[in-house]
Amino acid sequence: MENNLQHEDLLIKLRAKLNEEKVKLWETPYITQENGITQNFKDLAEKYAKDLSLENDVVHQALRELQLHSLERSKDNAEYKETGFAAFRIKATIPGEKPRMIKLQKKLDVLGTELIAAIATEIGVAENRVKLIFNGKVIKPTPSLEEQGLKNGATLMALVMAETPEEVKKEDTMYMEMKTVRDDATLLSEYVDELADDDEYMKLEDQSGKTVELPAAERRSLLVGLALHERGRAAAKQHDYPLALVLLLEADRQLSECRSSILKSVDNWAVLQLDISWSYLCLRSLPHAADAAQRLASAEAAFKDTYGEDHQRLIALKGSAANERVLLMRLYLLQGIVAYHQNKRADARDKLARAEQELNALRVDEDSVLTLMELGWSRAAARSGLRAAAGDRERAHHYLADRRAQRDRAREAHRLDRQRRALGVCADGSAVNAALVDGLVGMGYARRLAALALRNSNNHVAEAVRLIQEQPEMLADSDLSSDEVSTPSSEDSLVEPDNKLVAELEAMGYDTEEAKTALRMSRNHISGAVDRLVAGGGKVVQSDDPDNPSTSSGAVTKRKAKKHRRDKRRKERELALRRLNAAIRSEEDDYLDTSLTEEEEFLAQYKSLL
């Protein structure tokens, strides 16, 4: 890589000199009619070699490379105007090999799959192992090249996996994995209100741990985008940057469908722009990523919106901005590298110097990290605490404990608020008392029925019990659809069978399930339950009266079908959540942790070039 960077550095310097002196290498007096070099060209190479203190042959070859490139561009433009065939230059990144530059010509009205197939043939790999990226987007097989924004002279990235069977299998499953993540997150987003209150994955929180409420129209795109982002970060941690980049770009596409006001309340979108740019860098493709500079500028603006000028909003929330310096360090480092490749050397030096300053402030003592790990904190949390506490172990421990307690309080407040809203309000406008609901549930009544009774009785327990036992028809829940609660005596409004009464009926020799059914239908009156069981010879006989939906066979079948569908959806959600949890991290602020090793290597390389 060092030699490639040195060669790129020479080309950058030569382009700057040519632009400054307005030299056009593709015109006379620097080229012959047969595209050969002239004495003027040789003199120019010798002059630049002295200016740059380099060998004449090295500068001569670099100038010739730039000259031939200009001639080729001019020829391509003329051919495009005449034939309609656009020229594309593709940088193919193949693990274990040097990056290859490929030139192909296609008409802009052909489908994306035709260009993908041509590149695969040129490289000598299977078509399904090539992923094309242009201007921050993955080229799709079906739309035309023009519809996907490609123009004559465009430069693309081609990601190609290695040839080992294991790597080929991983490449073949790349999009299947992305589809699985997207489908799982979509499923969870559709049923987010049915999930448990302590399910942390499905909550979007700001920096203080406060839940950000999601508009229903944007919930899917936001949650799918965040899930793909987390999965992409997990791939990047494993240094699987081709997979990471594909996932991160898809996450960016999903989040772009959300309003900016939602994204400004959290730093996820800014971090995503950094992660995409970092993947470009690790794939040695940052200079060829036309969208990198804009992404970094957007990230910098988003951090200011989220954290405030000089991080005052962040400090007010967290008490420290030390850990977020990881993001700023990467931002400055990436901006410095982009500026270097744009030949903005003064800007590059400034950004790299700021990156180095932040990096030095982030270093922590490894012995202190191990000490905190012995106290039960993870390595990432230990580094986070030490950075926030300026290296003081005791302060770091207290900082981490306080942060955990703060988040727990915020989540408990959110859980109670959701519980309060789910229980509803009484007829007099007061909130239904959750403790009274729990009390009625303890007496054997269904939670939903208990909540309805307390709403109608304005939190009077005795009146609520009377309504359940004597006037259940008053407890029709207007919030439920008619197919869920067709009558007050439907399954959802029946009393849960009392375990003691079930035991008594079992002692009489009745089957457990039949005993429970009889108690439900008789509202826990044991004499009524016994009468039903005796009349049915030990079994509860359902009435065939079609006018009674609570006892007709059709209604029972319908309720069983509904229960089956609910159970099936619940299992699907549990499996989806399990797959997502296995694929992504679960540790708090994991995105702020880094060992600094890669950052130090890139910083040293580009500082040496400057």
Domain definitions of the chain by residue range: 1-83, 424-486
Q: Distance between CA 445 and CA 423 in Å, rounded?
A: 15
Cis, peptide link before residue 29, omega less than 30° from 0? yes
Is the separation of the CB atoms in 575 and 224 below 8 Å?
A: no
Q: At what angle do helices 2-20 and 325-341 cross, to 10 degrees?
A: 60
Q: Residue 581 is encoded by which pair of tokens?
A: 């949890």
Q: Distance between CA 284 and CA 93 in Å, rounded?
A: 8
Q: Distance between CA 454 and CA 465 in Å, rounded?
A: 9
pLDDT-flagged residues of the chain (< 50) = 165, 168-169, 171-172, 175, 193-201, 477-494, 544-552, 586
Q: Is residue 533 packed enough to be buried (19+ CB in 10 Å), middle (13-18) or exposed (0-12)?
A: buried
Q: Residue 284 is encoded by which pair of tokens?
A: 């040695």
Q: Is residue 293 packed enough to be buried (19+ CB in 10 Å), middle (13-18) or exposed (0-12)?
A: middle
Q: Which CATH superfamily includes the segment(s) 424-486?
A: Ubiquitin-associated (UBA) domain (1.10.8.10)
Report helix, strand or coil for 111. Answer: strand
Chain centroid to CA 359: 26
Q: pTM of whole model > 0.75? A: no
Burial code of 438-451, b = ≥16 C-beta within 10 A, e = fewer? eebbeebbbebbbb
Q: Distance between CA 419 and CA 197 in Å, rounded?
A: 8
Q: What pLDDT is attached to residue 478?
A: 38
Using alpha carbons, list the distances in angstroms from residue 156 to 105, 397, 402, 467, 508: 13, 48, 48, 71, 79
Q: What pLDDT is attached to residue 197?
A: 42
Contacts of 489 by beta carbon, 8 Å cutoff, 6+ apart:
472, 550
Q: What pLDDT is attached to residue 279?
A: 92
Q: What pLDDT is attached to residue 83?
A: 94
Q: What pLDDT is attached to residue 42?
A: 92
Q: Taking CA 585 as the corner, what is the angle to CA 583 and CA 590, rounded to the nearest 5 degrees?
A: 155
